[in-house]
Structure 1
Amino acid sequence: MKALVLSGGAGTRLRPITHTSAKQLVPVANKPVLFYGLESIAAAGITDVGMIVGDTAAEIEEAVGDGAKFGLEVTYIPQERPLGLAHAVLIARDFLGDDDFVMYLGDNFIVGGINDVVDAFRTTRPDAQILLTRVPDPRSFGVAELGPSGQVVGLEEKPEHPKSDLALVGVYLFTPAIHEAVRAIKPSWRGELEITHAIQHLIDARADVRSTVVRGYWKDTGNVRDMLEVNRTVLESMERRIDGEVDEASETVGRVVVEEGARITNSRIVGPVVIGAGTVVSDSYVGPFTSVAENCRITDSELEFSIVLRDSSIDGVGRIESSLIGRHVEVTPAPGVPSAHRLVLGDHSKVQIRS
């Protein structure tokens, strides 16, 4: 069994971060979200991985390499522009051959991994297996309609009037039957080859398409809010570890990770928090659900429920929360502006000005 990992796409919902960085490499608890998916694939016993890459191919390849550090063998498959998930399957045909495969969206995060669903697929081997989860507003997702016995009877991509609240999670399992389906469909109104249309083609051909409802935690980390939420979830599972320096004037409370080479002076750190290697926190407060990457500077400031990427500095700005701060960023106070009023008053005017 092989894996096809999608790591292209523009990441428009995470701009401006993704103007200069691949969305799959934005860190969660100081580790790129893509790495969690690769680790889950390796844990499921799959080693042969095809990686779909686009405009950020060089950055993805630099981060992942040949896959050896994950116990994988990675083959890179370029996609000129994002033309849909089914298009990714289409261009990966030579790599996939006649093997079964799992398709994993590189910006998705699933707590608990995919071992169980991969084992079940290997045992029963339906033509396709999809993962579903209940969402409050399914209009932004592919949506599944199930029959009375739980079989998949229909799929829609981002429907205006969803027939259920069951959204497709970004992990799919296929036999080679999917290859004929992706060749048979036409581009949607978005100009993309939709994987939902390809799976619907299988359903219409009476293929065996099954579903599993994910009971655990799943997030598509395509926007800032969900990225911060995933960061919170991962930090909650971390164990306290102090490998860096914490001076006597500082206090660390709860699940706090201070990486080797980091330094905390005259500050209070309340976990869960991770402070990256080489980062210096001084005269500051860093509160729960915050990850600060390597080689940052936090001075005379407060930070909570946020992600700070590497080589950035926050100096004397009061309180920051619910924020995603990119690489090589400098956050400083705005210069003071003298208070003044500009007036054009007619004769005999009376004006009251609050001092």
Structure 2
Amino acid sequence: MKAVLLAAGAGERLLPLTATRPKHLIKVAGKPILQYCLEAVKHAGINEAVIVTHYMDESIRSYFGDGSKIGLKISYVEQPKILGTGNAAGVAEPFLDGDFVLIYGDLLFGRDAVKDVLAEFKSGKTAAVMGVVPVDRPENYGIIEKTADGKVKGIIEKPAPGKAPSNLANAGVYVFSKDVFEKIRQTKASVRGEWELTDAITMLAEEGKTVLAAELDKGDWFDVGRPWDLLDANLWALNRMEHKVLGTVEEGAHLIGPIFVAASARIRSGAYIEGPAYIDEEADVGPNCYIRSGSYLGRKTRVGNAVEIKNSIIMDGTHVGHLSYVGDSVFGERCNLGAGTITANLRFDDGKIKMMIKDKVVDTGRRKLGAILGDGVKTGIKSLFMPGVKVGAGSWVGANCMVERDLPTGVVVTLKQDCEVKQRE
């Protein structure tokens, strides 16, 4: 049996981070999201995978190569246009010769998830088994409807509040027989002009084919669709990592709790690190800084004197040199923060923080949320970021500026001020 992983989408809701990388390559706890999916496939006893790509196709191919580094044989096929999950699955058909696993490659789930869904499929004669997970807000997901005998009757996309037939959401992990491709070809385009895999599943059920649901643990599944989801996903992954200190830890540094320190990383004297935390290769931490739980410091990052990092993702090559606070934030690669840069992460009224997503104001549901910076952002001294703001890749924020709203890619923000100069008496 082979696995198909859908990794074609551009991830527009994750901008500005996805302006320079596919969402599937965003790292949490040291590994890209897609790698967690591939490792779950391997854990289920599957040795061959087909990755369906489109956006920044070459980045994914270059990162995973032939799959030998993670013990898989990986093939690639490009979806010519983004035309929905059904169309994406369809382009993989020539690579398959029987039953297969299909996974949305922008999800995080426990390593047993694929194994459990596959076991349900093998337990009887079924056309499909789909992983499902209980959710608190069904109106945000595709929700399954069941028959009296527990089979899947259909999938309702984002039902109106209070109208959902259950609280079981489509988890994006499936096992199919090849019958599904006939149904994909019979589906009609949605109002968005896309062909949806869920429509094909509903057609299978309506024709009397057996479609079953395998319920996954709610705490072991994340839909990483929006920037703040990355913080939850990162913490989830950190709580499951191996505690290991391989790098250099100077005398006077303190490491408390589960922490991974890569072999070429250096923790300088006076650094205080609370786990779970992950310090990647060639990271340079300290002296005299505070890394709080839930933080991932990427490769070649630099965190210097009097810096506090709390529950944040700092991507490769980013420098937070000194006298700065970064809380509940995600910073892209190769950012450089001037002294005194502060991310505010809490409203005065203690209310939920909102963020602009695709031109709509969205309630994040989070009481604490800092800033999201794209790759290559630079800040001058005493730059301030209000909760929930996003800054596009390559933008520069000048000294003493307070960023209160989102900034696009490649802009320069400076503060105009009038200074009076007098002769001393």
Q: TM-score, normalised by structure 1?
A: 0.91
2:175 to 169, 173, 176: 173
Over the matched positions of the two proteins, sequence identity in percent amounts to 32
Are residues 1:299 and 2:298 paired?
no
2:175 alignment partner AA: L
Pairing of 1:177-256 with structure 2 (within 5 A): 177-216=179-218, 217-256=220-259
- Deviation, 1:83, is 1.0
Match of 2:284 in 1: 280
Given that residues 317 and 331 in structure 1 are in contact (C-alpha distance below 8 angstroms), is that contact kept between their aligned partners in structure 2? no
- Deviation, 1:26, is 0.6
Match of 1:58 in 2: 58
Match of 1:105 in 2: 104
In 2: Cα distance, 1:70 partner to 1:248 partner: 36
In 2: Cα distance, 1:259 partner to 1:132 partner: 35
SS of 1:154's partner is strand
CA deviation profile, 1:26-57 (whole Å, cap 9, x unmatched): 11101111111111111111122111000211
CA deviation profile, 1:278-319 (whole Å, cap 9, x unmatched): 111112110001111110101131001111111111122532
CA deviation profile, 1:81-100 (whole Å, cap 9, x unmatched): 22111111222221123x10
- Deviation, 1:183, is 0.6
Pairing of 1:25-44 with structure 2 (within 5 A): 25-44=25-44
1:204 alignment partner AA: E
Match of 2:330 in 1: 324
Distance 1:240 1:89, change over 3 A: closer
2:262 to 235, 259, 264: 259
> Which of 141-150 and 178-187 deviates more?
141-150
- Deviation, 1:229, is 0.8
- Deviation, 1:23, is 0.5
SS of 1:327's partner is coil
CA deviation profile, 1:150-206 (whole Å, cap 9, x unmatched): 111121223334332211001111001101100101011121111111111111111
Given that residues 125 and 175 in structure 1 are in contact (C-alpha distance below 8 angstroms), is that contact kept between their aligned partners in structure 2? no
Are residues 1:67 and 2:67 paired?
yes
Match of 1:268 in 2: 272
Distance 1:189 1:245, change over 3 A: same
In 1: Cα distance, 2:62 partner to 2:125 partner: 35
In 1: Cα distance, 2:290 partner to 2:37 partner: 32
- The unaligned stretches of length 5 or more in structure 1 are 343-355
Match of 1:141 in 2: 141
2:177 alignment partner AA: T
- Deviation, 1:224, is 2.0
Distance 1:280 1:111, change over 3 A: same
CA deviation profile, 1:242-263 (whole Å, cap 9, x unmatched): 2111212221111121111111
What RMSD over aligned residues (CA atoms) do the two structures have, in Å? 1.9
Given that residues 312 and 326 in structure 1 are in contact (C-alpha distance below 8 angstroms), is that contact kept between their aligned partners in structure 2? yes
Match of 2:342 in 1: none
In 1: Cα distance, 2:23 partner to 2:123 partner: 34
SS of 2:299's partner is coil
> Which of 58-67 and 325-334 deviates more?
325-334
SS of 1:80's partner is coil
In 2: Cα distance, 1:110 partner to 1:240 partner: 20
Match of 1:353 in 2: none
> Which of 176-185 and 233-242 deviates more?
233-242
Given that residues 40 and 110 in structure 2 are in contact (C-alpha distance below 8 angstroms), is that contact kept between their aligned partners in structure 1? no
- Deviation, 1:122, is 2.4
How many aligned residue pairs are there? 341
1:218 alignment partner AA: W
2:226 alignment partner AA: N
- Deviation, 1:80, is 1.9
1:309 alignment partner AA: M
- Deviation, 1:336, is 4.8
In 2: Cα distance, 1:164 partner to 1:281 partner: 48
Match of 1:347 in 2: none
In 2: Cα distance, 1:168 partner to 1:178 partner: 17
Given that residues 132 and 169 in structure 1 are in contact (C-alpha distance below 8 angstroms), is that contact kept between their aligned partners in structure 2? yes
1:143 alignment partner AA: I
SS of 2:60's partner is helix
In 1: Cα distance, 2:417 partner to 2:87 partner: 60
In 2: Cα distance, 1:150 partner to 1:38 partner: 30
Deviating beyond 4 angstroms after TM superposition, the runs of 4 or more aligned structure 1 residues are 336-342
Distance 1:336 1:115, change over 3 A: closer
> Which of 282-291 and 116-125 deviates more?
116-125
In 2: Cα distance, 1:306 partner to 1:125 partner: 46
SS of 2:322's partner is strand
2:263 alignment partner AA: E
**Who wins on radius of gyration, i.e. which is larger?**
1
